[in-house]
Amino acid sequence: MPGHDQAGLASAFVTTHWSVVLAAQGESERAQEALEKLCRTYWRPLYAFIRRQGCSPEEAQDLTQSFFASLLERRDFDRVRKEKGRLRSYLLGSLKHFLANDRRKAMSLRRGEGRALVSLDELRTDEDVDLESQGLSADRIYDQRWALTLLDQVFARLTSEGHAQRPGLVDRLSELLSDEPGRPSQAEIAREFGMTENAVKQALHRLRQRYRQLLREEIAHTVATPAEIEAELRELIVALRA
């Protein structure tokens, strides 16, 4: 029931809102894990924003790493706790301030010096795209990369959950959600996995429901109140359409 779902989300929200940010304080193992999650979620969007400013890939990597390091060193997260709003907007505003005021100082923190919050080997693999060819502003590119990264995380969670139950099924079902030519039919998937077509239809319905639930959970980590989840969902749709 919709009312029951909303109540469940509200009760769960107490332990999820701002949790990633608030835990990213101090030197504890929990803080380090939270900070790594924060960086993995926002590294690509922030990096893309800096690249759109005309920075080279190497300079943008330096600045992105330095930005996260400066946030931790200045303990800006202590101030975030007292504010209300969306983490996405807060970080972009902080980055703009950082680039305007601390760029020269930031460039003194080169890769390999100081604290590397996230390994670049994994994160840089798909960052060599021509950002200018997209014709989007730096702010829009930031939002688009945020949306795509969020969806990637949700799908990774879906795949992990599905693999434990029936390996490969989630990947095949997800093809039904796209408009790509040559996608399989429900009958083909049923034969492939030894299921009835009705079972495939039910599995697809559950996949859609779980996808929406996980998406809301991921967004809940980055807003201050449950009411802001819907607003961020709308922003995500706008970013993807761009």
Is the pLDDT reported for residue 206 higher than 80? yes
Helix H or strand E segment including 24: none
Least confident of 9-23, 130-144, 181-195: 9-23
Nearest to 173 by CA among 165, 234, 146, 144: 165
Is the pLDDT reported for residue 77 higher than 50? yes
Where residue 37 falls among pLDDT bands split at 50, 70, 90? Answer: confident
Percent of residues, the chain, with pLDDT higher than 90? 26
* Contact (Cβ atoms closer than 8 angstroms) between residue 139 and residue 92: yes
Residue of 32 and 241 predicted with greater confidence: 241
Which residues, listed in sequence order, are joined to residue 223 by a DSSP beta bridge? 86
Q: What is the mean pLDDT of residues 51-78?
A: 80
Question: Which pLDDT score, from 0 to 100, does residue 15 have?
Answer: 44
Q: How far apart are CA 67 and CA 33, in angstroms?
A: 18
Q: By residue range, what is the domain housing residue 217?
A: 2-241
User: Among all chains, which residue has been given the structure tokens 């819907």?
Assistant: 230
Distance of CA 53 to the CA centre of its chain: 22
Helix (H, G, I), strand (E, B) or coil at 126: helix
Question: Which pLDDT score, from 0 to 100, does residue 60 have?
Answer: 87
Helix (H, G, I), strand (E, B) or coil at 226: coil
Residue of 26 and 164 predicted with greater confidence: 164
* Phi, psi at 173, each rounded to 5°: -65, -35
Question: Which pLDDT score, from 0 to 100, does residue 67 have?
Answer: 86
Q: How many domains does the chain have?
A: 1
Q: What is the mean pLDDT of residues 88-94?
A: 88
Residue of 41 and 19 predicted with greater confidence: 41
Question: Which pLDDT score, from 0 to 100, does residue 228 have?
Answer: 83
Helix H or strand E segment including 80: helix 76-80
19, two tokens? 């949790």
Residue of 37 and 239 predicted with greater confidence: 239
Where residue 96 falls among pLDDT bands split at 50, 70, 90? Answer: very high
Q: How far apart are CA 109 and CA 96, in angstroms?
A: 18
Which residues, listed in sequence order, are joined to residue 86 by a DSSP beta bridge? 223
pLDDT digits (tens, 9 = 90+) for 217-229: 888 888 877 778 8
* Contact (Cβ atoms closer than 8 angstroms) between residue 63 and residue 50: yes
Where residue 126 falls among pLDDT bands split at 50, 70, 90? Answer: low
Q: Which of 33-42, 137-146, 224-233 has the highest mean pLDDT?
A: 137-146
10, two tokens? 């509200």
Residue of 127 and 75 predicted with greater confidence: 75
Is the pLDDT reported for residue 207 higher than 50? yes
Q: How far is CA 68 from CA 41, 62, 71, 191, in A?
A: 12, 10, 5, 49
Q: How far apart are CA 95 and CA 49, in angstroms?
A: 9
Helix, strand, coil % over all residues of the chain, rounded to 5: 75, 0, 25
Where residue 188 falls among pLDDT bands split at 50, 70, 90? Answer: very high
Length of the chain: 242
11, two tokens? 């009760």
* Contact (Cβ atoms closer than 8 angstroms) between residue 203 and residue 169: yes
**Rg for the chain (alpha carbons), in Å?**
20
